[in-house]
Structure 1
Amino acid sequence: MKNKFLLSLGLLSLAFVHSCESSENTEAIAQEEQEFNYGQTIDSIIARMTIEQKVGQMTQINLDVISEGEIFALKEPHRLDSSKLDSAINHFYVGSVLNVGGHTYDRNHWKEIIIELQTKAISEGNRIPIIYGIDAIHGVNYTAGSTLFPQQIGQAATWNPELVKTAASITAYECRASGIPWNFSPVLDLARQPLWSRFFETYGEDVYLAKSMSRACIEGYQGDGQPGPEKVAACMKHFLGYSMPISGKDRTPAWIPNIQLREYFLPTFQEAIKKGALTVMINSGEVNGIPVHADQSILTDLLRDELGFKGIAVTDWEDIIKLYRDHRVAKDMREAVKLAINAGIDMSMTPNDYSFNKALIDLVRNGEIPESRLDESCRRILWVKQQLGLFEQPIPEFDSYQKFGSKEHRNAALNTALESITLLKNDSELLPMSKSANVLVCGPAANSLNVQNGAWTHTWQGVDEQYNTADAKTIYQAIEEESEGRVLFSPGCGLSERNGLEVALKQAKEADVVLVCLGEIPSTEKPGDIESLDLPKSQIELVTELSKLGKPIVVALVLNRPMIVREVEPLAGSILHCYLPGDEGGRALAKILFGEVNPSGKLPFTYPRYSGSLVPYDHKYTETLDKDFGRDAFNPQWEFGFGLSYSTFSYSNLSVAKKSYGIGDTLDVSVDVTNTSEIEGREVVEIFVTDRVASITPSVKRLRGFRKIFVEAGEKATVVIQIPIDELGFVNKDAVHVVEAGDFQLSVDNLTADFRVE
């Protein structure tokens, strides 16, 4: 019976589409087709639409707007409000809905929402299916029982694009299993401002690493061609320059010269567009004094004309409203809408009212925005819906997603966490420790799935314990499960409060090893703003007092961003960075601590030693000059790409195929990697290149290639990596990517090789 119901809905939608195909195209549509053919079906639909219906397609509302109760104070259990839904579909002709009503829902409730919503949309109003969007940031974090992976920064630490692709593919599958075809992910901003609250949502500080991960993620979300029923539309976030606020505070001004904008912040988006990313979300902040939502040079000249992007450009939350409320570049909503639409916005995440609709309709009626401009955006929106198969099947076959939350999917999350955890220190080979050892597990991150997952976990900020995954293990619980010795637990302190220290010190005396799990309160966006990268005094005190007992100390960092651990580092025998490892992070850390798995993560960012010295690895030569006129100014806690293993590796026989290359050539790099230990392990071969002299001051080095390999104990692997010479280029003073002739040096580990580009 259900299958017949779904089929009838699909046929109804198709009937509408085919009934439109004989309509005439407008002159504006014909002009657009000269650039890109969105298809006769889409043009026919647009030709039948009224101004109100076109504006409706460009409108995205929050689920709260059509739910019972007040916005941000919905009735429980959640239900759609039939009268509000009727208004959205039959009066405002809404094209998109987003979000969740405050907290995670189970799949049955998502099924109810999607069926009711899409049934209404395709049978009434303009009979066009809704495109539903959600923030599935590290898995489908708003569906109960989903698979939660490490956050993006942890995925980057794997240095394994295949794991990122798998994580994205599983997330897409489970998103579609919830009836949602549009995922507001990945974040393609570069993490070059460690204070920023969304640092953990990125793929790190380096362009090449982030490009590689971005490419893999888009492939995982969308597939190789038109997304099928197990894929979603990816959304590149946040175009452009969002992650580099001068103050470090979210949505505050960024001042980024055009050369730097193109050299560092644009390439990930370029890569994603090449892979066919269907949508993009715009930077909520301002760059060089202009709010990006009102910047035609970025949203049209760069995004559309130069990069050739054809999909949907959607605002972030209330960002058109913010043009007059916060940025003060418009006097009211009407003027703000005019600025944003003329700049190049397609869809407004208004999202809690219909002020956008009313303003845009009035602007078109009064001739201040041509109706052809609405056609452009509608064409893109309908095309994305078509690419997702929403016209043919607006309601998915919910029962066909049998792998949702499966053991197979959770094992993938576990493997990702295992390869992400980064061993930063291991004096006297303290790790791995014996399973029979008596262990005190303490610290504010030791027994908290919320800290372990971070924000975007069941709720926006991820701090509500009641929604946590029932069978997921905290670090303490996983160690207790894995250990054959006695496992003690005491928090020892809060995230920022001093409490429980005495109990922890007493229990430490009974332990062979003390594991201290340091953490940060889950947060993102504005609530995640901080004043300093300094680790809270309560956590420093915990490690300091424990160290006085003379017990071996292992520190596990579970952090949103690189908090300063300069005072803690000398007190610990071993330090591991877990990032925000997700629901499987506890199990992953336990397996590494006890030696069941060899750690292989590498830092995807430079870990600073001081909060006032935030210099990335690819700094300029002037940034190496110290106050004594030596070259030791760059002195981070740990460098980008650093990470230890229980194995030891040696590098030899680095070579390049020839000593001179042309601009269009490919550099062939060969190096031998030998596992000189008795433990099999994974190693990341990192290739850095130095441009000796350039017309724009060159960095001391840039990552230009890498590969993660597995080497058996005592064995040798020969690794060959190809690097297109074009990858060695940079953005010159004319804002053009060029490769200049000259001398270069390639480095792998402690080996170097020279070559020249003619």
Structure 2
Amino acid sequence: MKQYKLLIIGILSLLLTSPSIAKTSDSERPDKKKETREEKVEKILKELTLEEKVGQMTQITLDVITVGENAYVSNEPLAVDTKLLQEAIRKYKIGSVLNTANNRARTPEKWNEVISAIQDEAMKEIGIPVLYGVDAIHGTTYTAGATFFPQQIGLGATWNPELTRRGAEVTAYETRASSIPWDFSPVLDMGRNPRWPRIWETYGEDVYLTSQMGAAAIKGYEGENNDLSDETRVAACIKHFIAYGAEKSGKDRTPTYLPEIELREHYLPSYKAAIDAGAHTIMINSGIINGVPVHANYELITRLLKEELGFQGLVVTDWADIENIHNRDKVAETHKEAVKLAINAGIDMAMVPYNYNFTTNLIELVKEGEVSMERIDDAVRRILLVKEELGLFKTPYPKVKDYPRFGSEEFEKDAYKAAAESITLLENNNDILPLPKNARVLVTGPNANSMRTLNGGWSYSWQGEKVHEFAAEYNTILEAVQNKLGKENVKYAAGIEYKNDGQYYEEQNIDIDAAVAAAKDVDYILLCIGENTYTESPGNLHDLYISQNQRKLAEELAKTGKPVVMILNEGRPRLVSQFVDKAEAVLHVYLPGNFGGDALADVLVGDVNPSGKLPYSYPMYPNALGTYDHKPSEAPTKMEGMYDYDSSMPLQWRFGHGLSYTSFDYANLTLSSNEINGEDTFTVSVDVKNTGEVVGKEVVQLYTSDLYASVTPDNKRLRRFEKVELKPGETKTIKFTLSGKDLAFVRADLKTAVEKGDFKVKIDKLSADLKVKNTVVFDNKEI
């Protein structure tokens, strides 16, 4: 019976996917309509046993099926264990594998070898290909030789969605060249809490900026028409639905307390934008919202995500998060109950990742009537459809030779351009930058000579600690400055180094006196400070101030009287208010990737005019954390009457801030109409002129303020932006089109509306009045 069923599935797979057979069938039966993907999936679904269906919902990590001492450690050189692979496929019918072995990058050839072995076994045994996924975050993370772009926070700082789209497109190509068709990216969580260790994986604090960047990333990963059969594209996975990063403590995966009005206003729109852009898969938030683990939350996964937002794709857990419902969150007394809660909440695939208890438990739950077959079929249907759309039935794995542009100079130029546009000039006292090309400089600080810190986490390994093994051919900041100014003009003394075999914050080899001595015969000091690599819980911190060793290094160097150019290389805004006034200039490079050193060197000497803008509010003090779109009471200019003191929210630098080596003037802010109905469309135009002496790029930012509303309005909201390049003396008129929906907000009744009343439209220092004549309530599904 088993052999007969396998034969039927195999024949179905061949019939459904062979181009020659399909073509003949269509031509011989012109009265028959071409079978749709959905119809193909339904045929396969009907042939599957319960065990096979549950197997499709199971995802294990690669170490489980490779040669090694246990499921957690693989031998090197890496090889698939035939016996373990057969157990996974033949006994447990698993439908998905993720991750890399031993937490390290592999060559495209090795990936092809490993994944072809997995797919050959799956197609032979079940007739259904495995869906392989990885975290390709800012390039193909786990592939040696791949092109690394800036991390998402750096792409957010470019304020250029086209660069985000292009980065995702290159990543998709190189991920598919690695035989991997599924990418756990982009992150559409909001970077609204500077303490959170994953803020650098976001596009920043603003929901509109994040939505635009997220939609661009989906187009890059999946193509303009989301045609996943294109073997240069991957299925995108937006994550982590929803409100991950809003933790009360600022620590990773700790509880969040969030009213629904806030969830809908500031956290939901970015996910909706990506769903509207066609994203095929989504990953769930590992945390707890209002006491309920999100992985067990039916209201969020089924009601909100699948029903209200209309998400038709595959919903996958994060790492071991069904087990966490029992182990960590204590809302299920057994692992079996945890499986029941998660699957009934709407989870389609479990990132298990180390054992097969999930399959055993789920099969029992279905037989006991605790999980319906309808729920199982819905999950498997979603999984099979992604596999079918990816063309995996036809081509379970491509060949490396079919991807000649992998790691090409073309791709590297794209990565360099993104890094260059991300760099943000925060201070430039007395126009000290750009530096003369014959300047004598000291390069110092723990981030001065490290490819690891330029890349951040998710770079060749999870925490980025293996970067030095793969990125030696690229230039650190020190090496790039040496190449630009000449080695004879560049001195180096680290002053402080990171302890690479310890936690990200541990420092060693502290010799500040040596750095001070090295500054004796130079004209400028390039102080490279920030953080070592980290992500997720290992990146939790207790003090947002930058390390006191780095503070002391900055203060002692400033005493030399040599002008200090401070270069921030960090994943989140570490506080520098204690000593930033000692620097003449401040540049923020974020986590720019392998070409960040080269881009920075070009900015330092003026070969590139910096055009980055902060994608978050940079705080000044640890108890003054806030976002630009705060409520009025969070940052009043003065408490009038009873108290005579300034209680404003002090920032080191505001959201959207970034200087240039030229200057821009704004004039003629004009609205097509100063009075509109709530559903009307209107245009806003403004003239922008380059009043300096060099070519520059400016980000034109349009904000609106609702002066009075039924719910206290945000201070202001970003509604549109455009990055424009201007020659010296050149003026361009920038036009934006908006509608009443763009002015809408979530009311206390959780409906989205624009209310009649007065608004301000703001660009730079200009503002214009706008009146909305009537209130309009919109369908939340259409917003």
Bin of the TM-score, shorter chain as denominator length: over 0.9
Give 1:262 shift: 0.4
CA distance in 1 between counterparts of 2:404 and 2:307 reads: 43
Partner residue, 1:27: none
Q: 1:646 aligns with which of 644, 661, 665?
A: 661
Residue deviations 1:412-442 (CA, integer Å, cap 9, x gap): 0000000000000000111000110111101
Give 1:498 shift: 6.2
Give 1:470 shift: 3.1
Alignment of 1:57-206 (within 5 A): 57-69=56-68, 70-101=70-101, 102-124=103-125, 126-206=126-206
Partner residue, 1:523: 534
Structure 2, gaps ≥5 residues long = 1-8, 19-35, 499-506, 774-783
CA distance in 2 between counterparts of 1:13 and 1:609 reads: 63
- Percent identity, please: 46
Partner residue, 1:462: 464
One-letter amino acid of the structure 2 residue matched with residue 90 of structure 1? R
Partner residue, 2:451: 449
Give 1:325 shift: 0.4
Query: Would you say 1:487 and 2:490 are equivalent positions?
Result: yes
* Secondary structure of residue in 1 paired with 2:708: coil
* Secondary structure of residue in 2 paired with 1:738: strand
Give 1:743 shift: 0.6
CA distance in 1 between counterparts of 2:47 and 2:288 reads: 37
One-letter amino acid of the structure 2 residue matched with residue 65 of structure 1? V
Partner residue, 1:48: 47
Partner residue, 1:723: 738
CA distance in 2 between counterparts of 1:463 and 1:183 reads: 21
* Aligned 8 A contact 1:517 1:558 in 2: yes
CA distance in 1 between counterparts of 2:468 and 2:457 reads: 15
* Aligned 8 A contact 1:450 1:468 in 2: no
CA distance in 2 between counterparts of 1:425 and 1:497 reads: 29
Give 1:631 shift: 6.4
Q: How many residues matched?
A: 731
Give 1:404 shift: 0.5
Partner residue, 2:287: 285
CA distance in 1 between counterparts of 2:262 and 2:677 reads: 26
Partner residue, 1:577: 588
Partner residue, 2:722: 707
Give 1:494 shift: 2.7
Give 1:725 shift: 2.2
Give 1:556 shift: 0.5
One-letter amino acid of the structure 2 residue matched with residue 494 of structure 1? E
One-letter amino acid of the structure 2 residue matched with residue 691 of structure 1? D
Change in Cα spacing, 1:17 to 1:367, as seen in structure 2 (3 Å) is farther
CA distance in 2 between counterparts of 1:736 and 1:44 reads: 41
Change in Cα spacing, 1:439 to 1:13, as seen in structure 2 (3 Å) is farther
Q: 1:539 aligns with which of 527, 536, 550?
A: 550
Give 1:737 shift: 1.2
Residue deviations 1:338-381 (CA, integer Å, cap 9, x gap): 00011000000000010100100111122221222110100000
CA distance in 2 between counterparts of 1:604 and 1:318 reads: 32
* Secondary structure of residue in 2 paired with 1:340: helix
Partner residue, 1:5: none
* RMSD over aligned Cα atoms: 1.5
Structure 1, gaps ≥5 residues long = 1-9, 20-36
* Secondary structure of residue in 1 paired with 2:551: helix
Alignment of 1:316-355 (within 5 A): 316-355=318-357
Partner residue, 2:600: 589
CA distance in 1 between counterparts of 2:428 and 2:46 reads: 67
Give 1:400 shift: 1.3
* Secondary structure of residue in 2 paired with 1:249: coil
CA distance in 1 between counterparts of 2:161 and 2:676 reads: 28
* Aligned 8 A contact 2:762 2:768 in 1: yes
* Aligned 8 A contact 2:163 2:418 in 1: yes
CA distance in 2 between counterparts of 1:693 and 1:121 reads: 61
Partner residue, 2:216: 216
CA distance in 1 between counterparts of 2:40 and 2:417 reads: 44
Query: Would you say 1:684 and 2:683 are equivalent positions?
Result: no
CA distance in 2 between counterparts of 1:653 and 1:345 reads: 52
Change in Cα spacing, 1:604 to 1:13, as seen in structure 2 (3 Å) is farther
* Aligned 8 A contact 1:686 1:748 in 2: yes
Change in Cα spacing, 1:129 to 1:664, as seen in structure 2 (3 Å) is same
* Aligned 8 A contact 1:17 1:45 in 2: no
CA distance in 2 between counterparts of 1:498 and 1:12 reads: 65
CA distance in 2 between counterparts of 1:469 and 1:663 reads: 54
CA distance in 1 between counterparts of 2:740 and 2:720 reads: 11
* Secondary structure of residue in 2 paired with 1:651: strand
CA distance in 1 between counterparts of 2:560 and 2:270 reads: 48
* Aligned 8 A contact 1:193 1:243 in 2: yes
Give 1:234 shift: 0.5
Partner residue, 1:668: 683
One-letter amino acid of the structure 2 residue matched with residue 279 of structure 1? T
Query: Would you say 1:744 and 2:746 are equivalent positions?
Result: no
* Aligned 8 A contact 2:459 2:467 in 1: no
Partner residue, 1:270: 272
One-letter amino acid of the structure 1 residue matched with residue 109 of structure 2? N
Task: Compare 651-660 and 482-491 and name the one that shifted more.
Answer: 482-491
Residue deviations 1:62-109 (CA, integer Å, cap 9, x gap): 001101112332111111100000011111111000000120001110
CA distance in 2 between counterparts of 1:14 and 1:339 reads: 33
CA distance in 1 between counterparts of 2:630 and 2:17 reads: 57
* Aligned 8 A contact 1:12 1:123 in 2: no
CA distance in 1 between counterparts of 2:362 and 2:599 reads: 51
* Secondary structure of residue in 2 paired with 1:205: coil
* Aligned 8 A contact 1:437 1:486 in 2: yes
